[in-house]
Chains A and B, each alone.
Chain A
């Protein structure tokens, strides 16, 4: 086995990032096995029956019928030990963050996370998306995770594959944690997902007292207000306005980013916007890499003037 792709069950169906990881595996080339764990393992396997991979390996066991970091890391470890893939691939989801480092430790194999491209080496973003780095493993085996959208799931190549189950040896003493059911917090007051115009505010707004100037602009433009995580963390705006990997995903006609640096966890939530206009005083801010219009300037100066002009 050359490549093992570890799948993720996203509340009953295959996680989008698992499909992207399969595309990454197909690009790498070689024999590809994928691993489905849990009581829905066969369901996930079925979703891949028309895909060009060698085989789906399913694991089901009482101790891993649903996700736990202890159980899953042990299963992945046992499969890697038995099958010796040279590369283990997975989507860089929050679940991956939770248990893959443990597999890395158990087997002493490096986990190179959040890869965006494999074109000239393994490329990862560093320093809050401001720079990229190429990373290499010093070992024969390695675990790689792909950032959301590193590959397009549409590029999955069709074909056939077989399926087999794998017997794991799990002991209940292994599981040191119990998980409750996932839940969502109170519903949002605003519908950002269907908003046509979004004005989103980042730490560049500097302080809570400056938030009202954003709402004044939003009012004259008929826009909704979104925010980056630090603005929400500071309590300047409620969490339902947060845009990004742990908040909402939006795709308005216009996304106006005010004082937002453009870290990847924010960008994944808004890069589908039809038009992105970013205002930032730092000409090298990563948000400008995905912006259609890059305004280099001070938001505290520009926002009130823009509001005045649009009013007048």
Chain B
């Protein structure tokens, strides 16, 4: 079983997000980056599938500037076999269709049985890249996977629906599946894994080789949302904050 896992590097939830002077994106030089959280679950699922079947290959694929090699190495340290880095120069491409075309150009000769992705990226939140790639590669697709059962040549996926509902779907492989967070418990790399990862291969595909597609959409401007609500702001040392909260609960909202 040959499994690709798409792993994006995104600003962490605690990162500062200063907007660039030309307001086209954030100043990445000041941001701190992490692995996109659902992608971490996708790596774990790929490793679990490989371990269960007892054979196969897990390939971590990431597109972005050189910084993204860090998340590829993280995947390799957890046990993935090799990595592919689709290089980007300058600012990241935020058009999902042209990104998917880039990925597809590199993935098609690999003949993967499964392409796993996260359901959504924390930065641009397009929620579609994995499905676009699946369709471009002529694969069956399923999204928001909460459980995956391989029954070659088919695969059963428990999909999350809205408001606590679920549904099982059975797909013919090859398949592209987007992973929802929480379906497993991602492992931490072992020291041995970290050492071993240094020797694993990361193939680098230069931007000029994959970024050959016209753009279909773009982010033009980034800005801070305006609030419409009147908000009472409470700050200070813990004691004064607590006495203010108690007052609000008692006198304003009258719940205690």
| Chain A interface (Cβ < 8 Å from any Cβ of B) | 69-70, 73, 93-95, 97-98, 100-102, 104-106, 108-114, 121, 124-139, 142, 176-185, 196-197, 203, 221, 229-230, 232-233, 235, 239-240, 245-249, 253-254, 261, 274-275, 277, 282, 286, 288-298, 301-302, 305-306, 309-310
Contacts and interface: CB of A to CB of B under 8 A. Distances in A.
B166 A305 contact: no
Contact of B13 (A100, A203, A247): A203
Contacts of B249: 221, 254
B167 A305 contact: no
B97 A94 contact: no
B214 interface: yes
Interface stretch (B49-57, B202-210, B234-242): B234-242
B171 interface: yes
B69 interface: no
A302 B238 contact: yes
Q: Is the interface of A mostly helix, strand, loop or mixed?
A: mixed
Nearest to B246: A309
A102 B135 contact: yes
B251 interface: no
A229 B128 contact: no
Interface stretch (B81-89, B106-114, B187-195, B218-226): B218-226
A293 B164 contact: no
8 contacts: A101-B128, A101-B135, A104-B97, A182-B161, A182-B167, A230-B181, A290-B227, A310-B256
A108 B245 contact: no
A305 B217 contact: no
B126 interface: yes
A170 B51 CA distance: 39
A84 B100 CA distance: 24
Interface stretch (B58-66, B70-78, B140-148): B140-148
B162 to A, nearest CB: 5
B164 A296 contact: no
B163 A247 contact: yes
Contacts of B144: 94, 97-98
B160 interface: yes
A292 B231 contact: yes
B165 to A, nearest CB: 5
Interface of B: 11, 13-14, 17, 19, 26, 37, 95-97, 100, 119, 122-128, 131-132, 134-136, 140-144, 159-172, 180-182, 185, 214-225, 227, 229-236, 238-239, 241-246, 248-249, 252-253, 255-256
Contacts of B14: 282
Contacts of B242: 302, 305-306, 309
Q: Is the interface of B mostly helix, strand, loop or mixed?
A: mixed
B222 A310 contact: no
A192 B112 CA distance: 44
Contacts of B135: 73, 101-102, 105-106
A97 B119 contact: yes
A289 B169 contact: no
A247 B95 contact: no
B224 A293 contact: no
Contacts of A306: 242, 245-246
A93 B116 CA distance: 21
A293 B231 CA distance: 6
Given A131-B224, A246-B163, A302-B241, 15 more contacts: A97-B119, A98-B143, A110-B217, A124-B125, A126-B219, A131-B222, A131-B225, A134-B220, A136-B217, A137-B217, A177-B172, A182-B161, A292-B231, A292-B232, A294-B231
Contact of B218 (A136, A232, A289): A136
B91 to A, nearest CB: 13
A229 B255 contact: no
Nearest to B184: A233
B181 A293 contact: no
B171 A176 contact: yes
B255 A197 contact: yes
B253 A288 contact: no
A69 B134 CA distance: 12
- The 5 A-B residue pairs with the shortest CB-CB distance in the complex, in nearest-first order: A233-B182, A101-B128, A110-B216, A101-B131, A105-B135
A131 B142 contact: no
